[in-house]
Structure formats: C-alpha cells, structure tokens
C-alpha cells in the first residue's frame, strides 16, 4: 500500500545526517530537533501552538484531557473511522456517541450530529477521513450554537486545506478548538516510528496541554494535573524536520496519482471514484478509496492479492458493531450509510512513489476483473 523504502532512498542524504546529529548530541528527549520541528510545523500550519507527542492516539486523548472533559460527558464522533478516535473517548470514561457518515465524502454527517446532541454532549470529534476535511463550517456552527468543543482528528489529512464559503483557506486541524495528528510511518507526514502532535490557537489550552504531555508538570516535580508521558523523541523529530519541507510535494504526488486513478475509473458504472470538494488541495489522499457497486468486493480483493497488488478495506466493520463499543442505545437504521460502506469500499495503493507503470497495472487489473 505504501513504499516507505522508495521514499527513504530519495531523502536518505538529508535524513541520515539529521538522525546522526541527534545521536552525536545525545539529546534524545525534548532536544533542539523537537523544538525546531515544532516551530516549523506551527509556521507551516499557520497555528499558534503545536505540541508534539508520542502518537496520534495520545494526541486525541491529551486534547480531551486538556479540554477538561469529564466521565459521563458525551462526545460525538463518526462510526466509520479507525478505532483510535472512539478508543480514547472510552478510555477517559467519556461516553462515545457514534453517528453515521456521508455516502460521498465518508465524513461525519451534519444532520446525524444535530440529532445526537443531548444536554450531556460536550464535544464533537470530526475525523478528516482519507485526507479530506469534514464539513467544518457546519460543525463549527453547531458547536457554537450548543457550546461544544471541536477536536479535529487530523491523522489522515495533514497538509489538506479547508476552504470556507467566503473563500478563506486554512489548514486541516487548525479550525476547531484543537487538532490532533499522527506521524505513523505511512501517514502523509510520517516518521520512522511513532509520533503525533496536537495543534491549537488557544494559549491557555496550549499551556494546559504542555503540562499534560509531561506528567502534568508545569514546574519540575510539581504535578498540578494528572498527566501522561507522551513525548515525540528527538530522532523522530529529526526525520519529520527533514520531511516537512517536502510535505506539499508529497501531497501533490498523491493527488497526481489520484487523478490518474480517477481518469481510469471515471466511466465505469460500477465504480464510484472518490468525491472531492472544489479546490485541488482540499483532499490529500491519505487513502484512495473506491466504492464498488454490484461487484463482489471481496472477490476483487482476492483477485488483486493474487496479482500481487496490495489493497485494503478501510474499514470493514462499523465502530458501533465492534464488541468494545456496543451500546444498546444504537439503532441500526441510524447507521445505514456506514453499514453499506463497509461492504463497498476498497482502498488502492497510494503513496509518493507510485509510477505510471504501477498505476496502469493496477487499473487494468481492476477493469479486466470487472469486464469479467
């Protein structure tokens, strides 16, 4: 699905000395590389505060801790996403409220959010799935009307732009009260291990979160709040620091690959190509996900595997049907879209090193399968 080796080979002359420098300096934790990367990411995202942490799951958890969410508070999020989002809600003993998504962009559905709001609702967590922002304009309006926090799960959409109706463009993850991202190796900006970050424009929240990531300390050995140990290590920061200047080019390559896939599939009736809103840089294609209709999706997966083409089903089971998150309050008819998507979606290889030959091989294999 990804070609981390090919990407590394292209940048090893920059990355290797950066890693070596950390080792020579032995500033493994909270060293200057972490600070450098943090500042550069703040600049890139045009956000006041970036707080690096150990991974994207922690970033979500810490954001919720920083906002002071308490057991029993209800947090609304999408049913169709990776489990990390709902996992941290449950872990903090908040109440996850899963809602359906849109059939076109796979993102959280606005009417479903509105219907799920109760007096206990405290936050909404939109997930910018597969690289494209949820409808943040509508989500921010709902949040304002009901006095709710918005925590953007931006693990899959770093570098994507969101365009408001008035034409204003901002980076995904910087719109809500707080954004959380992952630097897992296969992410659009990935390191060589685990990593994550939290973004916010709120000075007070940033201060709270800086303590939470470091055992609740604001002054050494003074633990003012319950915290966690979640730090981005300096070696990962060195990798990210080397890769950040390439992020826009990396995303452009993903978009180019998506355009080629689109061109090959757009006239095939039983394939629905990914929906994109307006501007070209709104979707940064963490995944290229098709919907197949009237085709045996699982047979297609098997066929691609036989032809040595990696593919993935993200996600095969709605979160509300996962054992850990079953809740008798859920009504199946409220999850029609997710229940259908899990049967139809298939994600194709998507990375910065995809070449024309590979894309042609993948698209021809799929079209031949469909033509029977």
Structure tokens at 267: 């006239």
Q: Give the 3-state secondary structure of 103-116.
A: CCCCCECHHHHHHH
The footprint of ligand PLP (CB under 6 A) covers 55-57, 81-82, 84-85, 127, 153, 155-156, 182, 184, 194, 196
Least Cβ distance, residue 65 to ligand PLP (angstroms) = 15
In DSSP notation, 257-289 reads HHHHHHHHHTT-TTEEPPP--SSGGGB--SSEE
Shorter beta-carbon distance to ligand PLP: residue 84 or 295: 84
Shorter beta-carbon distance to ligand PLP: residue 162 or 184: 184
Shorter beta-carbon distance to ligand PLP: residue 106 or 250: 106
Shorter beta-carbon distance to ligand PLP: residue 84 or 212: 84
Cis status, amide bond into 269, omega within 30 of 0: no
Shorter beta-carbon distance to ligand PLP: residue 82 or 199: 82
Least Cβ distance, residue 196 to ligand PLP (angstroms) = 5
Tokens 């994600």 correspond to: 347
Burial of 40 (0-12, 13-18, 19+ CB in 10 A): middle
* Spatial separation of the C-alpha atoms in residues 197 and 214, rounded to whole Å: 13
Sign of the CA dihedral 104, 108, 111, 116?
positive
Least Cβ distance, residue 155 to ligand PLP (angstroms) = 4
Least Cβ distance, residue 182 to ligand PLP (angstroms) = 3
Q: Where are the beta strands (DSSP E) in 54-193?
A: 74-78, 95-99, 121-125, 149-153, 161-163, 169-171, 178-182
Shorter beta-carbon distance to ligand PLP: residue 100 or 194: 194
- In the bound state, the residue with its beta carbon closest to ligand PLP is 56
Least Cβ distance, residue 197 to ligand PLP (angstroms) = 10
Least Cβ distance, residue 264 to ligand PLP (angstroms) = 26
């Amino acid at each position: 699905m990804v070609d981390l080796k090919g990407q590394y080979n292209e940048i090893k002359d920059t990355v290797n000395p950066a890693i070596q420098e950390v080792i020579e300096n032995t500033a493994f934790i909270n060293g200057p590389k972490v600070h450098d990367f943090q500042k550069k990411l703040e600049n890139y995202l045009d956000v006041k505060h970036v707080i690096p942490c150990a991974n994207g799951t922690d970033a979500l958890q810490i954001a919720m801790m920083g906002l002071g969410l308490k057991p029993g508070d209800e947090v609304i999020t999408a049913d169709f996403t990776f489990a990390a989002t709902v996992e941290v809600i449950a872990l903090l003993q908040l109440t996850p409220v899963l809602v359906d998504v849109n059939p076109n962009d796979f993102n959280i559905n606005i009417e479903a959010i509105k219907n799920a709001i109760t007096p206990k609702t405290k936050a909404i967590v939109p997930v910018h799935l597969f690289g494209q922002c949820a409808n943040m304009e509508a989500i921010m309006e709902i949040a304002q009307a009901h006095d709710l926090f918005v925590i953007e799960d931006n693990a899959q959409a770093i570098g994507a732009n969101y365009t408001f109706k008035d034409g204003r463009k901002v980076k995904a993850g910087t719109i809500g009260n707080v954004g959380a991202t992952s630097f897992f190796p296969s992410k659009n900006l990935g390191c060589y291990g685990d990593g994550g970050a939290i973004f916010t424009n709120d000075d007070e929240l940033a201060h709270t979160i800086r303590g939470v990531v470091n055992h609740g300390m604001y002054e050494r050995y003074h633990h003012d709040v319950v915290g966690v140990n979640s730090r981005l290590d300096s070696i990962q920061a060195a990798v990210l620091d080397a890769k950040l200047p390439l992020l826009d080019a990396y995303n452009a390559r993903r978009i180019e690959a998506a355009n080629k896939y689109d061109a090959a599939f757009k006239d095939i009736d039983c394939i629905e190509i990914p929906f994109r809103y307006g501007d070209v840089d709104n979707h940064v294609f963490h995944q290229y996900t098709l919907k197949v209709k009237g085709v045996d999706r699982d047979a297609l997966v098997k066929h691609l595997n036989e032809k040595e083409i990696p593919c993935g089903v993200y996600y095969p089971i709605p979160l509300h049907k996962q054992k850990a998150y079953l809740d008798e309050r859920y009504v199946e008819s409220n999850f029609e879209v997710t229940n259908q998507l899990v049967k139809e979606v298939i994600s194709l290889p998507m990375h910065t090193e995809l070449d024309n030959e590979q894309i042609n091989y993948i698209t021809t294999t799929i079209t031949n399968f469909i033509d029977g």
